[in-house]
Chain A
Amino acid sequence: MKLEGRTLRTFAATLLTLGVFTACGDDDPPSGNNSVDPPSGLTVTATSATTTRVTFTAVSGASSYIVQRASGAGAFATVGTPAGTTFDDVGLDPNTQYRYQVATVEGSRTSAFTAPVTVTTSASGRFAATLSAPITASRTLFADSVYTIQGYVRIASGATLTIQPGTRILGDFNTPGSSLFVTRGAKIVAIGTAANPIVFTSSQPVGSRKPGDWGGLVIVGNARINRNSAGTSIFTEGPTTARQDYANGTDDNDNSGTLRYVRIEFAGYAETTNEELNSLSMYAVGRGTTIEYVQTMAGLDDSFEWFGGTVDGRYLVSYESGDDHFDWTEGYRGRNQFLIAFQSQQIPQRAGAGSLSTDPNGFEGDGCENTRPFCTTFAGSVPFSNPVFANFTVVGFGSAFTTSSGGYGAVIRRGAGVTLINGILARWPRTAINIRDLATDTLRQRDSVTIRNVLLVENGANFDAPGGSNVFGQQANFASNNIVEASGTAASLFVSLTPPGLDWTPSAASAARTGGLATFTGSVAARVSGLFGGTSGIVGTSYVGAVDPAGPKWYEGWTVYVIN
């Protein structure tokens, strides 16, 4: 249906431009109204190998515009709904022809589309460079080049790797497991823009990329973890020849650099079974580091994983993970606000890269895994894992596929603390909230596991059922915490819950528009202050979920939801 409408619109728009129509017809079917004009002066320029800028002349009275894109001769799809007359499209492929068309929206009325304008993105960076040796001196990666990471490349202590906006960095498919390790004492300064994000992706051609094509981005900081190994090394994942010691950190304010407007795609190669690299692994990363506007897509293991440390984050998007979306352990204490996770499928991984998880969860929190050396008893490892996640929209896979375990919105276990607040957990086939064991429940009773103001919808169960093997996350334990189940479907809560046009803005009558805790008090207030080392903290909101109904749509422009 949709396709048909689009085709007709296109057809109509084409005819219009050709001047066959002298007046707008009534047969523009969807919501078109001949009293609204499409914008004029549509111009599209390739701003880089992966980005374009769409500009047009304003139409008076317009409330917003619809920008649609087609790849080559393909079908059009909406890529943005800007209010202004400039739109930066991102995540494109180099040296590829695209067509754009724009329509005007005025209240509930939409115009016909302009005639399509064709543009070809510039060839991927004029220069190609390979990163294979350790980076021992500070250097910059320039946007005019495409860099290929070959093997396990580390940035040595003392060196800073600066990456220009719009730079593409490819993990070499032919050197399995290729990864970038930011070692303790080194920095990565990868600051993109919404229009020109920095993209880490597979070196495979578009259409053949798969989870596990390359390893991932690993950052090792110098903050504390709770495996108290007193002088003894603990190694990160990755091959024995490349991995790093992340134990015995001393500085919770340590700074490993900045990631801003960065996408990490198709990572997660496993050198050894059960040793998959995460898309973004943060080991003992300190709160001097800035992680914001980061999207992971189609990784084979977790999207974001924190092993101890204190790094804060915001505006994080996890789109289709091979395992968990947000995973923490070993004493992670950072604060995070505005997080989105979406799972609708298990994407077949690169052959031989590792295995899809059999226990994928939204949040998976551990205090310290008791099988790991130096994790002291079941909940005795200090500092406790005790992060904050506020304003999250974490959408699971419902019945799209089944797994032998996992499928929880949030699993809190092995003595982990957490504050989950003002969020949405949707479509988790098992249980939305699962407190796994006595050690963790003890922390809950001591107010270290705080879950409140959460909207639940379409989950297999909301809480742990009495009598099962999981008994600690029972509803009675969260009686007055404003954890409520929304009526209707998950899809009805949002403007669009269908890729690629995902729009997490609460829909008009969405239950997510209310129910948030606007003012933090007591222990919660204490935990959220001083985000990114500044004076402000995580702010309370009257809504729940990752997006303010009043905007901005902070994910727009730099995130992509197309697996290719």
Chain B
Amino acid sequence: MKNRSIAATALLLGAMAAFFTLSPEVSAAQVPTGRIVGRVIDRQSGQGIADVGVQVVGTTAGVMSGVDGRYSITGIPAGTVSMHIRRIGYQPKTITALMLPANGSIEQDVALDVASVQLQTLEVTASAERGTVNEALDRQRTATGIVSSVTAEQIARSPDSDAASAIQRVSGVTVQDGRYVFVRGLGERYTNTSLNGARVPSPEPERKVVPLDLFPASLLQTVTTSKTFTPDQSGDFSGAQVDIQTREFPARRTLSYSMSMGYNDAASGSQILSAPSAGSEWIGFGGEARKLPSLVRQYGNFNSNISQLEYNRLVRSFRNSWTADAASGRPNYSTGVSIGGEDRIFKHPVGYIGSLSYSYGQEVRENEERAQAVGGVNGTTQSFNAFRGSTGRTSILWGGLLNLSTWIGRNSKISLNNTYNRTADNEARQDSGFYDLGNFDIERTMLRYVERTVLSNQLRGDHVLGTRHTVDWAVNYAGVTRVEPDRSNLTYGFIPDVQTNQPVRQLLTAPEANRRTFGDLDEHSISPSLNYKLAIGPETRQTYLKVGALYRDAKRDVDTRSFSIIPQNLTEAELAQPAEDLFDRYSTDDSDVFRVEPYLTTGSYRARERLSAGYFMADHPLTDRIRAIAGARVEHDRLEVTTLNKSGTEFLSGLNDTDVLPSIALNLSVTDAQNLRLSASQTLSRPEYRELSPLLYQDAIGDEFVFGDTSLKRALIQNYDIRWEWYPKAGEVLSVALFAKRFSQPIERVFVASSGGTQISFVNADGAENYGVELELRKGLGAFTERLTPFTFFANGTIMQSDIRPGNEGIVATTRDNRPMVGQSPFVVNAGLAYTSTSGKANAVVLYNVSGKRIFAAGVGELPDSYEQERHALDVSVSLPVWRTIAAKIDLKNLLDYPYEISQGQVTRERYTAGRVFSAGLSWRP
């Protein structure tokens, strides 16, 4: 494995070198000239402005800005130059002190202020202008609704390696399991994820959730969390819409390379469990070697008669790998390369960025505890089936993107964005404890391997037609896969001997004891969309009318199968053999030992969802300082889910709804630096596909039996938000927000009692409310004393409360009424202190994150709710220039190594620590 990672690096390096040497060098011109590129934007809205004249003072060089406000001027004599920018309706600007190197290019963005009368030209230096632009690009300030974003720059300064860790810096966001995002205490059901504006399907078979650790940080431009709904957004929205924007191409060709090595104090160097690998796991292609054997597939649901000889062959067709290896832990490792720029191809300027990243990590969960809780004396809880063990996990994450864009004329921009990410987790878990049903101790081993991929292609066009019309369109393709091939579960029992009563370690023969599971999920969607925006009224007080339509056709195929391999009639001594020997020895043609039984037969389904949506919205200035944004979205959704029961009978269920979702917002500019936003909207939440199927299946993740309800309806949600925000200086903010949400018939996961125990299902609860306060503060400390100028303090916090009433009708919930919604923390706080040297080259950040205890699962009957306990995290990251364009970065992650813990009453249901990670790396920009 180690050699392979090095090989991977070599490959990346080689590819990079090849690209670099083969790419055409900009040939040296006779007269030293250079190029200036950039964008012209509106300082208020942050939007690019087309048709702006950009002129290099004292030359004939000049252009008009195009779509998105982009411009590019070539053939400018090198040296110190000035640039004059003007457009009707804006205050003209002259930028001075632009240092243009010979044969080089520089990037200069410009922000213009709206002006009703022609004013005198404002003159600013190039460096001063950058601050204005930064402010203008602050999406939070300029957005129509309430958004929070994390930018590439912030991510680069943090130790965050993927989108999941980056987004937890946003106010009101909690990240569960290092992957799944909860916003304002609303579960994954209420959070959507899109990539460059296009919905990313869920790669999990039973949940609507996108694990954000799928997206390497190096590919990200911004991660934006919209917390209020506007009609141009998807309607199944309540907590947030998380949009991941992949990187934009730089103005001039840049090449960067980075690598880092890490040390996990729990994993590196110590003996950790691992699952035997198969296939090309080092690049996340281990699935083929672990595929469901075709012989097994032939038997379908095993409803026909099967002879002993056939059983033996079936057993032999499985990969005979059951036992975990112990290997010494290796350092974490990551590397990345990216290249981007803008060149002329066939006289068309083409912007491009290509990026590849690869990372390898190991995680160990030591002293992992798992237990069930049952009722004890006097309302207490007692631990039941308690197990203790450890888990070793090796994760690979790699991905790449290639974004291209070009201009047709000055007014049309066409882009093609492509992203592909792949993760592979190889996990081995071993634990042991008392098993009540058998009345003896058992030892369990689970080996699992999961690959997930996300592929996204987007062809997009932006057109400015005249001065008042803007049209954009896109065709998006998104595909996700999740393959969990050949998970094995192996169980040994310490069973008292019939004669001696002494425990003898032997393979357990219960159907759940020894299993192989194969999971396969594929979803792909195609989604065209079109938006048209019309600006009317005077330049200085324009009203924007926006209409648009979207269609999405998504198809999902899930196939999960599990098989029990059951040895029968073996003696104690025979069952005491190592698993691999045992499965080999007794599966010969003439053996009469094994049976193979399908264990999980209802895990397969197909779904198709067709969504048509259209909207109209107006953004109208009521006064100079107040804008009203109002509109409505109509969504028609047709969902069909087909599940198959054990005997192959199909169950059809689905939804067919049309909803009108109105939204209204008022944005008040109290002063130039203060905004007050008010908004109210109606949104909805649809059941996840599987929740509509009546068939009982076992959740492959939590091993609980779950069934859905065909009569489940979509929930409607009313959202109310108020936010006051103050931007005292560029880069500083203080904001306070209040939010309230009222849910009508929210879909809630509930417990259902059966003669066999507990099962899980879904109901439309009677109702729920969720409300809270959000605070955000970012402040440069230079205001207090000069010496603290390089330091910035920032913090955000959310305090919230929710109340859900599951109700008492239909499938009856056995959980407590009037309790917080599952997953809602009473508070979430992020705080940090950032240091940036005056040169801007060295920086450091300390980040702290805490979320209050939240319900992990609602209690059943007399049992209390189980809570995920409060968890504190502290991370430190330092970046330093080393030599020329080489910079070093040191990350210290999870310094407190606070345990992850779920408890229910007095019982610890689950607990582990993951270890601290120290990593150091270098990046190089030639």
Give A contacts to B, CB under 8 Å: 175-177, 208, 227, 229, 231-237, 239-241, 243, 246-247, 271-275, 283, 307, 330, 346, 348, 350-352, 354-356, 358-359, 369-378, 380, 401-405, 407, 429-430, 436, 460, 465, 467-470
Contacts and interface: CB of A to CB of B under 8 A. Distances in A.
A305 B483 CA distance: 41
Contacts of A370: 374-375, 384
B564 interface: yes
Contact of A468 (B301, B374, B501, B598): B501
A355 B557 CA distance: 29
A194 B508 CA distance: 43
Interface stretch (B241-249, B409-417, B536-544, B752-760): B752-760
A172 to B, nearest CB: 10
B904 to A, nearest CB: 13
A359 B374 contact: no
Contacts of A208: 305
Contact of A371 (B572, B752, B757): B757
Interface centre among A231, A272, A355, A465, by most chain B C-beta atoms within 10 angstroms, is A272
A363 to B, nearest CB: 16
A355 B597 CA distance: 7
Nearest to B751: A373
Given A239-B695, A240-B694, A351-B303, A405 B645 contact: no
B595 to A, nearest CB: 8
A361 to B, nearest CB: 12
Contacts of B645: 239, 271
A453 to B, nearest CB: 26
Contacts of B646: 176-177, 271-272, 352
B439 A237 contact: no
A108 to B, nearest CB: 41
B119 interface: no
Nearest to A232: B812
A283 B375 contact: no
A470 B439 contact: yes
6 contacts: A272-B697, A273-B698, A275-B696, A348-B595, A372-B757, A374-B814
Interface stretch (B5-13, B91-99, B491-499, B879-887): B491-499
Please tell me the size bucket of the interface on B. 35 or more
Contacts of A403: 509
Nearest to B571: A402
Interface centre among B374, B572, B860, by most chain A C-beta atoms within 10 angstroms, is B374
A117 to B, nearest CB: 36
A234 B754 contact: yes
A243 B754 CA distance: 9
B327 to A, nearest CB: 31
B495 A372 contact: no
Top 6 A-B residue pairs of the complex, sorted by shortest distance between their CB atoms:
A352-B302, A355-B511, A176-B647, A373-B861, A234-B753, A373-B860
Nearest to B697: A272
B754 A235 contact: yes
A352 B302 CA distance: 5
A273 B511 contact: yes
B438 interface: yes
Contacts of B771: none
Contacts of B304: 351
Given A239-B695, A468-B501, A376 B862 contact: yes
A355 B566 contact: yes
B647 A233 contact: no
Contacts of A468: 496, 501
B600 A273 contact: yes
Contacts of B302: 351-352
B602 interface: yes
A58 to B, nearest CB: 48
A359 B808 CA distance: 37
A380 B376 CA distance: 9
Interface of B: 301-306, 372, 374-377, 382, 384, 436-440, 493, 495-496, 498-499, 501, 506, 508-512, 564, 566, 568-572, 575, 595, 597-602, 645-647, 694-698, 705, 707, 751-759, 808, 811-814, 860-863
Contacts of B306: 351
B493 A404 contact: yes
Contact of B597 (A234, A354, A372, A465): A354
A215 B306 CA distance: 20
A406 B25 CA distance: 79
B532 to A, nearest CB: 48
Contacts, number: 180
Given A232-B814, A358-B508, A404-B438, A227 B753 contact: yes
Nearest to B304: A351
A422 B756 CA distance: 32
Contacts of B599: 273
Contacts of B756: 237, 274-275, 372
A41 to B, nearest CB: 46
A377 B376 contact: yes
Contacts of B569: 401-402
B753 A377 contact: no
A272 B510 CA distance: 14
Given A239-B645, A272-B705, A372-B757, A355 B440 contact: no
A350 to B, nearest CB: 8
Contacts of A354: 511, 597
B568 A401 contact: yes
Given A234-B755, A405-B439, A175 B647 contact: yes
Interface centre among B372, B595, B707, B861, by most chain A C-beta atoms within 10 angstroms, is B861
B647 to A, nearest CB: 4
A140 to B, nearest CB: 30
Nearest to B501: A468
Contacts of A369: 757
Contacts of B512: 273-274
A232 B751 CA distance: 11
B151 to A, nearest CB: 48
Given A272-B696, A373-B758, A404 B509 contact: yes
Interface centre among A233, A407, A436, by most chain B C-beta atoms within 10 angstroms, is A233
Contacts of A380: 375
A429 B501 CA distance: 12
Nearest to B491: A404
Interface centre among A237, A356, A359, by most chain B C-beta atoms within 10 angstroms, is A356
Given A359-B437, A404-B438, A307 B753 contact: no
A466 B330 CA distance: 49
Contact of A176 (B303, B377, B813): B303
Contact of A235 (B572, B647, B694, B753): B753
Contact of B498 (A373, A376, A460): A460
Given A370-B375, A469-B439, A355 B564 contact: yes
B753 A358 contact: no
Contacts of B696: 239-240, 271-272, 275
Given A273-B511, A358-B509, A405 B755 contact: no
A469 B440 contact: yes
A343 to B, nearest CB: 15
A402 B576 CA distance: 14
A215 B918 CA distance: 58
Contacts of B698: 272-273
Contact of B753 (A176, A239, A247): A247
A250 to B, nearest CB: 17
B493 A229 contact: no
Nearest to B859: A373
Nearest to A369: B757
Contacts of A177: 646-647
A149 B757 CA distance: 28
Given A229-B753, A229-B814, A352-B598, A240 B510 contact: no
A236 B759 CA distance: 12
B694 A241 contact: yes
Contact of A404 (B384, B495, B753): B495
B119 to A, nearest CB: 72
B303 A374 contact: no
Given A231-B808, A352-B597, A401-B569, A358 B510 contact: yes
